[in-house]
Chains A and B, each alone.
Chain A
Amino acid sequence: AQTVTQSQPEMSVQEAETVTLSCTYDTSESDYYLFWYKQPPSRQMILVIRQEAYKQQNATENRFSVNFQKAAKSFSLKISDSQLGDAAMYFCAYRSARGKLIFGQGTELSVKP
């Protein structure tokens, strides 16, 4: 069975600084997708970034980028120039080509002004 592990329950970053959230996963599949979701206090889950396993190039979306290490089964999220609005719960998620979305336990990020 596939599992997703986020080892940092809480993280804190100073405004304008950079922070990296960790995620590891376990799978025997070769075709899968990885995602980071953000859930602010407003409760709405927002898809931040996605990575296809077959792509070697790391995905980026504005201030958000990932470090995808397929052999190590690692998928970390880097947030550059952190803003107060980045404060949220961040979930790493995995989905195989035929499976359902599997979430990690989440990392609560706080941003200090």
Chain B
Amino acid sequence: DTEVTQTPKHLVMGMTNKKSLKCEQHMGHRAMYWYKQKAKKPPELMFVYSYEKLSINESVPSRFSPECPNSSLLNLHLHALQPEDSALYLCASSQGPGAQYTEAFFGQGTRLTVV
């Protein structure tokens, strides 16, 4: 199994809603990442988990809250989002946090629309 699975594929939420994005991999990878991508732009790193611990937070607003319950699962909890948060959210994984492994596998993303 060489996949990173993200659910849901599409999500529409109101600014007062609470929702969660889910990312799962069963490749035994020990580093997992959340990226945000606007249309026709490159992905922007949000968070990195290394061995289930948050290792990088790219000054992301607190309305985004990551969680890594176990080595296979990564969640992104969303609360009180703004319309400008509408984007494609990508999850990625790599064998380890070192640069030589890089973000080798990406999921298909969750297309989030905030109304």
Chains A and B are bound partners: yes
Residue contact A45 to B43, C-beta cutoff 8 Å: yes
Q: Does A105 contact B (CB under 8 A)?
A: yes
Residue contact A99 to B99, C-beta cutoff 8 Å: yes
Q: Does A16 contact B (CB under 8 A)?
A: no
The bracket for how many chain B residues form the interface is 20 to 34
B111 to chain A: closest residue by CB: A43
| B56-75 interface with A by 8 A CB criterion | 56, 58
Query: Taking A45-B92, A91-B42, A103-B42 as contacts, is the C-beta distance between A96 and B99 under 8 angstroms?
Result: yes
Chain B contacts of A99 at CB under 8 A?
99
The bracket for how many chain A residues form the interface is 20 to 34
| A64-113 interface with B by 8 A CB criterion | 89, 91, 93, 95-101, 103-106, 108
Q: Does B95 contact A (CB under 8 A)?
A: no
Q: Top 6 A-B pairs ranked by shortest CB distance?
A: A103-B42, A45-B106, A44-B108, A95-B99, A43-B109, A97-B99
